[in-house]
């Protein structure tokens, strides 16, 4: 459980976004990961992020599925990261990966997992963050992210504006 500063955390998030952009729009065949979460991102010695574990990924051509990289027929993924429409029988799309990326980003910034014990009944990570936005945002962020920020000398003004964007 490595504590990274805000700049390093945002660098990792940007690396993941670039990987998803490549898989969704720039690879020979469109790839939908279907299980994007922090545990499926590895860091190399230079702290560059690499998206891994394509065991349930799907290859698509536009909106039509070309099959899976495994023999599974149902949509699977990790609880808390799966797009809600998948649970309602929705088809695999890049938007599902975008949802999973958003949940992963919230976890990286708050250090709360979507399966944390505090999320019961109708409360989940996304709703918890939305309820804190914008005024309570700094209170739900992981404190280690805000230590020794290189851009504001410890004041939260610029950090708050950056995170609200």
Rounded to whole angstroms, the Cα distance separating 52 from 8 reads 19
DSSP sequence for 74-101: S----TTTS-HHHHTTPPP-HHHHHHHH
Whether the CB-CB separation of 114 and 124 falls below 8 Å is answered with yes
162, 155 Cβ separation under 8 angstroms: no
How are beta strands 30-32 and 58-61 bridged, if at all? antiparallel
Buried b (16+ CB within 10 A) or exposed e, 107-120: bbbbbbbbeeeebe
- Is residue 152 part of the annotated active site? The answer reads no
Candidates 11, 35, 44, 97; catalytic one: 35
Residues contacting 6, CB < 8 A, separation 6+: 145, 146, 149, 159
Active site residues: 35
């Amino acid at each position: 459980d490595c504590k990274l500063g805000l700049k390093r955390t945002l660098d990792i998030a940007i690396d993941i976004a670039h990987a998803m952009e490549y898989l969704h729009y720039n690879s020979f065949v469109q790839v939908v990961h279907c299980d994007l979460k922090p545990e499926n991102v590895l860091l190399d010695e230079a702290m560059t992020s690499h998206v891994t574990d394509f065991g349930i990924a799907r290859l698509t051509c536009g909106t039509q599925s070309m099959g899976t990289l495994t023999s599974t027929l149902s949509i699977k993924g990790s609880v808390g990261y799966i797009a809600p429409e998948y649970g309602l029988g929705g088809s695999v799309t890049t938007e599902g990966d975008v949802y999973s990326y958003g949940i992963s980003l919230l976890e990286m910034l708050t250090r709360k997992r979507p399966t944390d014990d505090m999320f019961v009944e109708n409360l989940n990570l996304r709703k918890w963050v939305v309820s804190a936005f914008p005024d309570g945002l700094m209170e739900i962020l992981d404190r280690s992210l805000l230590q020794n920020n290189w851009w504001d000398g410890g004041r939260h003004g610029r950090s708050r504006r950056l995170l609200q964007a």
